Amino acid sequence: MKFSFFVLLLAIASASKWAVLLAGSSGYGNYRHQSDVAHMYGILIDHKFDPDHIITIMYGDLPDHPRNPFSGTIFNHPGNNQRNYQEGLVIDYDHKYKLTKELYLNILLGDSGSVRNMTGIENPKVLKTNKDDHIFLYYIDHGGDNIVAMPDGDYLTARELVQTIQTMYDEGKYGKLVYYLEACESGSMWQTLPNDINAYALSSTLPNESSWGTYCPPNDDVVDGVHIGSCLGEVWSCFWLEQDDAADLSTLTLQKQFDDAKDFTTTSHPLQFGDMEIAQEPVGDYISEVAGRRRFLRSENRRVEQWDSRLNDLLFWKNRALDANDREAYAKYMEIAERNLNVDRYFKQLVRKVMKNDDTMLKLHFAEKNWPCYNAVLEKYQSTYGFNDYSMKYARTLANMCTLYKGDVQDIINAM
């Protein structure tokens, strides 16, 4: 018994911590995704996390964006004298590279050869982990049923993500892994995650609901008296990011953080998956126990402005049009409103063509997927029309048709 305990202590002492942070979008309307990732990077640095063990993947277009009223900045919270998370931020893979799912998955797998071929970087930064190491992963972007978006290329499927984590486990690439995922319908990404591979995952939502932005226009995006003009963060992510700033991470457990964030997040219903024993461990085991440099307490006095992420594009341009009486912004708002209506009409008509009804297909959610059919119709829609933040909600409709339709998948494709 004493020998086993000694071996355990040696393993803990030799374990390294690694983190991979990914913002899957670009553009000023998606400010909140990159600002949340920048905040997480700041937390890791504040807690003395080895910067060589942090891999950051984000487009990096916010600081110099023409709509940014404060050039060279990224803010994640409104008010005066707020922290600029652009300061000290190191992005390993930005818009100079194709930020695809293939790049991301090969970084996780530690495949430096494949990443070198994709990027041209002689010594690319990838996970260099072993069977004792702890890995913290954070992803934030748009999502749909069993899919999440990437800055470039095709969406990442739940099947691909879970299989990659399984492969990492099988190849001894981690001791324990924690994954925080914020996206619409993100609960659908983890429904097949095994509970016996030392992996613990959280989602910001149920499998069939939207994620929400926070600190949004027109009233709660103000920094130093100036409107940023976009949501500064996401509801769920901002809560636990701010908790990480304030809490003693050597005593705050992952379970406590999940419970607190779930209680706070009234716009969606976060979920947890995988190995629940990991949830009893301190957050500090994954992002370091060293105290952070700032203590931030969220104001509980009022509800801040929040936006449904599905409607973010629409609300973003509506706010710009109203705020500045901007005719070009109004035209863009009307364009997106018409686009969304056309997407609604398209899928209602598609369901009628294939299934002879609409309400059932548009509302149900099935955990089990007919993946050959689903992959085929996803590829057809993506190549023909392309998914956007709004149309991704209809990925579930395509999945439902594949599950319930008794004919050939080609019938669905022909109807598209």
Q: What is the DSSP string of 115-154?
A: HHHHH--SS-------TT-EEEEEEES-EETTEE--SSSS
Kindly report, residue by residue over 307-320, the tens digit of the pLDDT. 777 777 777 777 77
- Options 142, 227, 373, 402, the catalytic residue: 142
Rg (CA), the chain: 21
Sign of the alpha-carbon torsion through 368, 371, 374, 379: positive
- Domain ranges for the chain, please list them: 10-287, 326-415
φ, ψ (nearest 5 deg) of residue 116: -60, -45
Q: State residue 359's pLDDT score.
A: 65
**What pLDDT does residue 221 have?**
93
Out of 3.40.50.2300, 3.40.50.300, 3.40.50.1460, 1.20.1250.20, the CATH code matching 10-287 is 3.40.50.1460
Annotated active-site residue in 33, 77, 184, 216 = 184
Among residues 398, 406, 411, the alpha carbon closest in space to that of 371 is found at: 398
Structure tokens at 391: 């149309």
In the block, tokens 């018994």 appear at 1
How large is the average pLDDT for residues 325-347?
A: 86
At 351-376, the pLDDT tens digits run 999 988 766 666 778 888 999 999 99
Residue 19 has pLDDT above 90, yes or no: yes
Check: CB of residue 249 under 8 Å from CB of residue 287: yes
pLDDT tens-digit series, residues 79-122: 999 999 999 999 999 999 999 999 999 999 999 999 999 999 99
Residue 184 annotated in active site: yes
Q: What percent of the chain has pLDDT over 70?
A: 91
Query: Do residues 218 and 324 make contact, with C-beta atoms less than 8 angstroms apart?
Result: no
257 contacts: CB under 8 Å, gap ≥ 6:
240, 243, 283
Residue 142 is a catalytic residue: yes
pLDDT (tens digit per residue) in 251-309: 999 999 999 999 999 999 999 999 999 999 999 999 986 765 555 545 443 456 677 77
How confident is the prediction for the chain on average, in pLDDT? Answer: 90
Quote the pLDDT of residue 290.
75
Q: Which of 100-114, 157-171, 215-229 has the lowest mean pLDDT?
A: 215-229
Please state, as a whole number, how many other Cβ atoms lie within 10 Å of the Cβ of residue 188: 29
